[in-house]
Amino acid sequence: MTNFRIDNLQYANWSEKIFRQMREGGIDAVHVTIAYHETFRETILQVERWNRYFEQFPDLIFQGFTAEDVQVARDTDRTAIFFGFQNPSPIEDDIGLVEVWHRLGARFMQLTYNNQSLLATGCYEEDDTGLTRMGHEVVAEMNRVGLVVDMSHSGERSTLEAIEYSTRPIAITHANPYSWHAALRNKSDTVLKALGQSGGMLGFSIYPHHLEGGSDCTLDSFCQMIIDTASQMGIDNIGIGTDLCQDQPDSVVEWMRVGRWTKGIDYGEGSASNAGFPPMPTWYQDNRHFNTIGDGLGRLGMTDVEVNKVMGGNWYRFYQNSFGPAR
């Protein structure tokens, strides 16, 4: 079995430099966000942008559609890029767009991004009313075609209902346990238990607001948290989703938080005095540091087999079972 390396969430300011760093880091696949608040047509523009990258840098990257493409990436020394949305805005109010997007390569879609959506409730709303009428329909359609439900930015009840209602395992692509760092974006023991028991996946985030100690979080603290979560959820249900937002200007984090839903300003996980992108920990500056995590896990006692599961093997298996039509 190949020891795949998969980062299941990034939203960098893409460039040849970053694609080369993916190769230097030995990353076989990256799930990239192509929409935060964009409409269908606006998200198509992001597909077009990626198509240009694929045409310009065919020796570094190509679009991934299936788990087999991760093997192709490994065999050809490239990185397979998988598309995902952090908000259901690209399907607008039209369930038929789920299948269209799957054809175009979307493989993960969050039902909410912080706020209430047409489908479910975000993690920053006062009340979480769970899956909506349309939410149930869309989850079933996502299950049918093979578009993974991602609840990283959703509220507790919505997340539990999605785990329960979805006939296929779901993902929380980028978040950490609330018990380790009490952020609204991190996940309760109840959620983690239900996620693991249903065969779902948690991707550990290195976005500083999700870390104990923020930007000063140590590699050891992060790796011990992974080991503890493995004990809690099972070694087969965890992976990495760094949430690396490399080279992005602060205007991008404002777009993420505010979109077009308010004329005011919302600081999300930040604050007025700390409004921009927080600096990444020194031990994780870019894709070249990916294996630093695996090394850290090994130093704290994880076996090679376990490290390989966390660093990509589990996502690979999840891709195999999740990206095709329901059987």
Interacting residues of 117 by C-beta distance below 8 A, sequence separation 6+: 87, 88, 89, 111
Tokens of residue 13, six digits:
């300011």
Cα gap 241→205, rounded to integer Å: 5
CB 208 within 8 A of CB 215: yes
Q: How near is the Cβ of 58 to a copy of itself at its closest, in Å?
A: 11
* Identity of the residue, 16 or 94, whose beta carbon is nearer to a copy of itself in the bound complex: 94
For a copy of itself, the binding residue among 40, 165, 255, 283 (CB under 8 A) is 40
Does 59 help bind a copy of itself (rule: CB under 8 A)?
A: no
Stretch that binds a copy of itself, among 18-26, 93-101, 177-185, 240-248 (CB under 8 A): 93-101
Tokens of residue 92, six digits:
């607008």
Stretch that binds a copy of itself, among 41-49, 199-207, 225-233, 314-322 (CB under 8 A): 41-49
Cα gap 168→94, rounded to integer Å: 22
N-terminal to C-terminal alpha carbon distance within the chain:
25
Stretch that binds a copy of itself, among 18-26, 42-50, 127-135, 242-250 (CB under 8 A): 42-50
Mark 99-118 with x for binding to a copy of itself (rule: CB under 8 A) and - for no binding.
Answer: xx--xxx-------------
Beta bridge partners of 172: 202
Interacting residues of 324 by C-beta distance below 8 A, sequence separation 6+: 66, 146
* Identity of the residue, 2 or 56, whose beta carbon is nearer to a copy of itself in the bound complex: 56
Does 44 help bind a copy of itself (rule: CB under 8 A)?
A: yes
Burial call 280-290: b when 16+ CB within 10 Å, e when fewer? bbebbebbbbb
Q: How near is the Cβ of 126 to a copy of itself at its closest, in Å?
A: 35
Cα gap 302→293, rounded to integer Å: 11
Does 324 help bind a copy of itself (rule: CB under 8 A)?
A: no
For a copy of itself, the binding residue among 15, 16, 52, 304 (CB under 8 A) is 52
Note the residues at the interface with a copy of itself (CB under 8 A): 40-41, 44-45, 47-48, 51-52, 94, 96-97, 99-100, 103-105
